[in-house]
Amino acid sequence: MKHFFKVFFTSLLCFSILIAGGMYLYIVGFHGNVEALEDPNATPLEKAINKKGRINVLLLGLEHERSDTIMVATYDTKEKKADIISIPRDTYVERDGFVNSANNKINTIYTVKGIEGIKDMVRSLTGITVDKYVTIDYDGVRAAVDAVGGVDVNVPFHMRYTDPYSDPPLDINIPEGEQTIYGDQAMEFLRFRKTNYPGYTGYAEGDLGRIQAQQDFVKSAIKKSLSLKLPKVISSIYPHVDTDFSLTELTSLAVGSIGFSSDNVDFHTLPGDTQTLNRLSFYIANDVEVMNLIYEIYDISEENKIE
């Protein structure tokens, strides 16, 4: 475990602040693509994506210049309901000049092509057009956890792992059970995947098991955030993020949080499975299941689903 931290968590935490802050107020004035709505050749998905009243936010956490995991948050203002789609870091993507190489993993795109490159890949994988983005680094993670006063979690097993060569050195030792975790310990909880200690255990499903734990974590963080003075929380985190939301917009979002609940957030993982290609492990998206998931999120009728 040599990664400084895992992007998946940072993305989730960004989203907890944005959604808990009340994205509804921002979206009330958000206008869809009228041309797409009126185009007789537009697909049901294109029309649904461009309807007024929904916004899609790309959420990234960065380990230096690499985005190890990507998420997309899509929010329906009429229903006040959010869906978060996790895209595993090893998801296979097509790239000119590369076939079955490490450069075909989606977590390599940001380094070369930046935010716009990730947006393009997300649209290629899901059909979703990104409206806004947020990225956060390690300092932002700590600031966010401290700002909400820690997060309540149920640790599924005793997490034990040591890596003296990590930068900084890593020593994870979190007992099993319900507890509130803060700062560095929250990072350790969200980084943990497997143990290197005899007699201890890790997630049977590896990164996918960790994704589930991280999703539970952020749902708890959202619930905690909703009980706090959100403008203050956002102001403390904003210096640590890169986003095309302005601070004024994010602070205004906090005012519109009334009526939103953590129960209105559904988490999904991009449908697919793990395969080995050229001795490398990739996560291969199932295109049919992906489109059916998007159709379900966008409430597109059953007859339009793909068999």
Q: Which domains does the chain have, with CATH numbers?
A: 7-148+225-296 (3.40.630.190)
Biggest alpha carbon distance in the chain? 62
Local structure of residue 262 (DSSP, 8 states): G
**8 Å CB contact between 175 and 160:** no
Residue 137: per-residue pLDDT: 65
Q: What integer pLDDT is reported at residue 116 of this predicted model?
A: 94
What pLDDT score does 7 carry? 35
pLDDT score for 92: 96
Low-confidence ranges of the chain (pLDDT < 50): 1-37
Tell me the torsion sign for CA atoms 80, 223, 191, 110: positive
The DSSP letter of residue 166 is S
Pairing of strands 265-269, 54-61: unpaired
Q: Is 297 left (phi over 0), alpha (psi -120 to 50) or beta?
A: alpha
> DSSP readout, 7-70?
HHHHHHHHHHHHHHT-HHHHHTT----HHHHH-TT--HHHHHHTSTTEEEEEEEE-BTTB-S-E
User: What is the per-residue pLDDT for 223?
Assistant: 75
The whole-angstrom separation of Cα 273 and Cα 275 is 7
Residue 227: per-residue pLDDT: 65
Write down the pLDDT at residue 69.
Answer: 65
Q: pLDDT at position 293, please?
A: 95
Collapse the DSSP code of 281 into the 3-class scheme (helix H, G, I; strand E, B; otherwise coil) and give the result. Answer: strand
